[in-house]
């Protein structure tokens, strides 16, 4: 009861999100940011930093917000092109470079990862080791600058500029005015540098390293850059606008961790509690915050609070996080929705058209082929649900097909569970099959690595469900039907179309058929052709293929000996709606529309039988589509 009240109080307490007099065609997200900007622009608290004289020139009214999504959409409002220096927001990026350029233990020997309750410029080193407590305070940041690779200070600076430019997606430079102002007044940072030298945290003369640190802080950015840099961290290190990688993915979580625990100095705890996003602020008035996988945001507003964080920046993030429930620890539920639907081989068959005894057998035994159509992200929690569901229903199963077509990501923990599942299933004679594996590039590599020599035998992957189902059906049928073979040749009297004719009638119609042969791969029927004939496969097999809106091709049906196709022509005289391709060398019996119509005059009964057989074959096809519609819920 108490909880319910609290919750409803929270919802009611939220201010209304949208401004009313906006352009009906503009994005609701942009409208929201404009509203947020408008609300906080009126606030005048805080002081522009003056301890670096050049920073004192900033206009306290400058104010910008820039939100960037991991697919590269940029929403910017206010003074988003106003240049300012990155200052301490450089620290996480340089820490990431230190991790890339050294072993992790080398970095950890010189810089800790514990938050301090101190100000950014405190001379706080661990008493025993002299190690700065974390890379977000100046001492740790100077140590990190000392770990950037490069023969000379100018090559190191160039590496920093090149990396920052990759994050921002444009070429960044040092603001020389701010740099010299900072260098002239930066005695405290020089003192920190000497303390670091005293404890052997930096090698040699600390002065050039402190100078490099001044330069990295003086790199000029705008709010749009900050948003994109944040989104690059949200996007596993790849700039979502340019598609270029700025940092190796494996280090992103370390960078975000220190931002999460130490990024806002002595406000870090309350920030994490209220806003719940890894973030970093700088004394020029910038803040960047990252919600991994979802967004990056940059805010610029020079007036600072007593801890050195942008006052408006904090307010914007606080509101934004509350309005949209963005707290990191509020992650969305992953649940059973991972299984979009499931069906088995008695309900849905491949598009290979089969004879009656095969159809009968698949109706009876197709349950042993189970298909799980999956959706969304396959991560630990969703893969666990799936694996549990599969394991709970193994009775009479021979094949389990995992259809990945609608998945977004299959991460390493899902691959790990699938590998274990595959081994368990194969030990009890069940084959695990993956389809649409282009959705999961890591899966193939993972299985090859883990299965080694046994990969070819155990790992089964198909581009589409249809060939996977056909493969399972063929295996099942060859087990269950004595003498089953997927390629066979029927005599014309066995053709479906001629069932129910008297021997004399059969002889008459047979005499009116033409025999045509086609090479493997040739096109028998083309979309848009005038339909003048019906075909019956005598030898080999043909596939009916349509081109989907996406441009890819899909097999609608494969016919083998004794089956008729192109029959709609005899009925509606329309043009062809799909192409038909020879899968093998093919021989067909052909009945022209003209011959068929001429039966009206001399053999109307033959025509009646043929029409009845055609109606039967069309209704079988329609029933298949009906079954698919009821299962797939198109
Ligand atoms: N260059 C500034 C300094 O070291 C950076 C500080 C900051 O942005 N908090 O003083």
Nearest to 591 by CA among 570, 568, 612: 570
The answer to whether 614 touches 569, Cβ cutoff 8 Å, is no
- The verdict on the CB of residue 302 being under 6 Å from ligand 1 is no
pLDDT in tens, 395-416: 999 999 999 999 998 999 999 9
Judge whether 189 is annotated as a binding position: yes
Query: Which segments in the chain show pLDDT lower than 50?
Result: 1-17
H/E element holding 233?
A: helix 223-234
- The verdict on the CB of residue 140 being under 6 Å from ligand 1 is no
Ligand 1: which of 123, 193, 282 to mutate, judged by most atoms within 8 Å of the beta carbon? 282
- The verdict on the CB of residue 558 being under 6 Å from ligand 1 is no
Q: What's residue 259's pLDDT?
A: 96
Centre of ligand 1 from the C-alpha of residue 217, in Å: 7
Ligand 1 closest atom vs CA 182: 1
Judge whether 265 is annotated as a binding position: yes
Centre of ligand 1 from the C-alpha of residue 88, in Å: 5
Nearest CA to ligand 1 atom 4: 138
- The verdict on the CB of residue 371 being under 6 Å from ligand 1 is no
Ligand 1 closest atom vs CA 213: 1
Q: What's residue 9's pLDDT?
A: 36
- The verdict on the CB of residue 309 being under 6 Å from ligand 1 is no
pLDDT in tens, 30-45: 999 999 999 999 998 9
- The verdict on the CB of residue 262 being under 6 Å from ligand 1 is no
Judge whether 138 is annotated as a binding position: yes
Q: Where would I find the beta strands (DSSP E) of 584-625?
A: 586-592
CB atoms near residue 487 (< 10 Å)? 10
Nearest to 458 by CA among 470, 448, 467, 466: 448
Phi, psi (rounded to 5 degrees) for 624: -60, -45
- The verdict on the CB of residue 538 being under 6 Å from ligand 1 is no
Nearest CA to ligand 1 atom 2: 87
Phi, psi (rounded to 5 degrees) for 494: -90, -5
Centre of ligand 1 from the C-alpha of residue 330, in Å: 32
Provide Rg for the chain, Cα atoms. 35
Nearest to 563 by CA among 628, 500, 625, 492: 492
pLDDT in tens, 298-310: 999 999 999 999 9
Ligand 1: which of 51, 92, 121 to mutate, judged by most atoms within 8 Å of the beta carbon? 121
Residues with Cβ within 8 Å of 309's Cβ and at least 6 positions away in sequence, in order, are 264, 265, 267, 281, 287
All domains of the chain in start order, with CATH: 7-268+287-314 (3.40.710.10), 339-480 (3.30.750.24), 492-632 (2.60.120.10)
**Model's pTM, two decimal places?**
0.78
- The verdict on the CB of residue 308 being under 6 Å from ligand 1 is yes
The answer to whether 26 touches 70, Cβ cutoff 8 Å, is no
Q: Cα–Cα–Cα angle for 329, 332, 333, nearest 5°? A: 115
- The verdict on the CB of residue 285 being under 6 Å from ligand 1 is no
Judge whether 213 is annotated as a binding position: yes
Residues with Cβ within 8 Å of 275's Cβ and at least 6 positions away in sequence, in order, are 289, 314, 317, 318, 321, 326, 327
Ligand 1: which of 138, 174, 221, 226 to mutate, judged by most atoms within 8 Å of the beta carbon? 138
Q: What's residue 518's pLDDT?
A: 97
CB atoms near residue 346 (< 10 Å)? 15
Ligand 1 closest atom vs CA 282: 8
Phi, psi (rounded to 5 degrees) for 428: -110, 20
Residues of 124-139 as b/e, b for ≥16 C-beta within 10 angstroms? bbeeeebbbbbbbbbb
Centre of ligand 1 from the C-alpha of residue 182, in Å: 9
Judge whether 222 is annotated as a binding position: no
- The verdict on the CB of residue 282 being under 6 Å from ligand 1 is yes
H/E element holding 286?
A: strand 286-291
In sequence order, the β-bridge partners of residue 290 are 296
């Amino acid at each position: 009861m108490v909880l319910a009240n609290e919750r409803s109080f929270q919802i009611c307490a939220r201010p209304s999100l949208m401004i009313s007099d906006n352009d009906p065609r503009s994005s609701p997200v942009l409208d929201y940011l404009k509203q947020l900007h408008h609300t906080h622009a009126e606030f005048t608290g805080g002081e522009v930093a003056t301890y670096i004289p050049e920073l004192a020139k900033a206009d306290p009214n400058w104010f910008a917000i820039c939100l960037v999504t991991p697919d590269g959409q940029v929403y910017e409002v206010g003074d988003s092109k106003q240049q300012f220096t990155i200052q301490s927001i450089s620290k996480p990026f340089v820490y990431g470079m230190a991790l890339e350029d050294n072993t992790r233990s080398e970095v950890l020997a010189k810089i800790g990862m514990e938050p301090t309750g101190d100000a950014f410029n405190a001379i706080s080193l661990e008493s025993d080791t002299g190690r700065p407590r974390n890379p977000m305070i100046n001492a740790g940041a100077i140590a990190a600058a000392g770990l950037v690779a490069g023969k000379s200070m100018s090559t190191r600076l160039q590496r920093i500029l090149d990396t920052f430019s990759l994050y921002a997606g444009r070429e960044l430079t040092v603001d020389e005015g701010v740099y010299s102002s900072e260098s002239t007044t930066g005695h405290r940072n020089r003192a920190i540098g000497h303390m670091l030298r005293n404890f052997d945290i930096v090698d040699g003369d600390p002065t050039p390293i402190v100078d490099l640190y001044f330069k990295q802080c003086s790199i000029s950015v705008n709010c749009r850059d900050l948003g994109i840099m944040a989104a690059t961290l949200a996007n596993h290190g790849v700039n979502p606008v340019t598609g270029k990688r700025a940092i190796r993915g494996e280090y992103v979580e370390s960078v975000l961790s220190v931002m999460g625990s130490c990024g806002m100095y002595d406000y870090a705890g309350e920030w994490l509690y209220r806003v719940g996003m890894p973030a970093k602020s700088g004394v020029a008035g910038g803040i960047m915050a990252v919600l991994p996988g979802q967004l990056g945001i940059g805010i610029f507003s020079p007036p600072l609070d007593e801890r050195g964080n942008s006052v408006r920046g904090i307010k914007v993030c606080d509101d934004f996080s509350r309005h949209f429930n963005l707290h990191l620890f509020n992650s969305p539920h992953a649940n059973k929705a991972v299984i979009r639907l499931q069906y088995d081989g008695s309900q849905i068959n491949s598009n290979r058209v089969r004879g009656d005894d095969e159809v009968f057998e698949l109706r009876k035994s197709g349950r042993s082929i189970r298909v799980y159509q999956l959706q969304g992200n396959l991560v630990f929690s969703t893969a666990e649900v799936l694996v549990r569901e599969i394991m709970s229903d193994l009775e009479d199963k021979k094949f389990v097909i995992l259809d990945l077509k609608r998945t977004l990501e299959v991460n390493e923990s899902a691959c790990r569970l699938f590998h274990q599942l595959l081994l368990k299933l194969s030990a009890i004679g069940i084959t695990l099959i993956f389809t649409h594996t282009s959705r999961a590039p890591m899966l193939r590599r993972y299985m090859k690595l883990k299965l080694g020599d046994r990969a070819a035998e155990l790992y089964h992957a198909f581009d589409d469900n249809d060939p996977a189902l056909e493969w399972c059906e063929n295996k099942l049928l060859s087990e269950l039907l004595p003498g089953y073979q997927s390629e066979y040749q029927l005599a014309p009297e066995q053709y479906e179309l001629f069932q129910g004719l008297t021997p004399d009638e059969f002889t008459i119609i047979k005499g009116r058929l033409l025999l045509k042969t086609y090479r493997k791969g040739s096109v028998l029927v083309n979309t848009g052709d005038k339909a003048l004939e019906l075909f019956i496969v005598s030898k080999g097999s043909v596939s009916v293929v349509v081109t989907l809106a996406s441009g890819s091709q899909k097999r609608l049906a494969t016919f083998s000996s004794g089956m008729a196709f192109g029959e709609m022509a005899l009925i509606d005289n329309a043009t062809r709606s799909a192409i038909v391709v020879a899968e093998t060398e093919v021989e067909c019996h052909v009945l022209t529309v003209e011959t068929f119509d001429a039966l009206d005059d001399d053999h109307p009964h033959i025509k009646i039988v043929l029409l009845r057989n055609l109606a039967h074959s069309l209704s079988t096809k329609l029933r298949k589509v009906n079954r698919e519609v009821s299962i797939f819920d198109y």
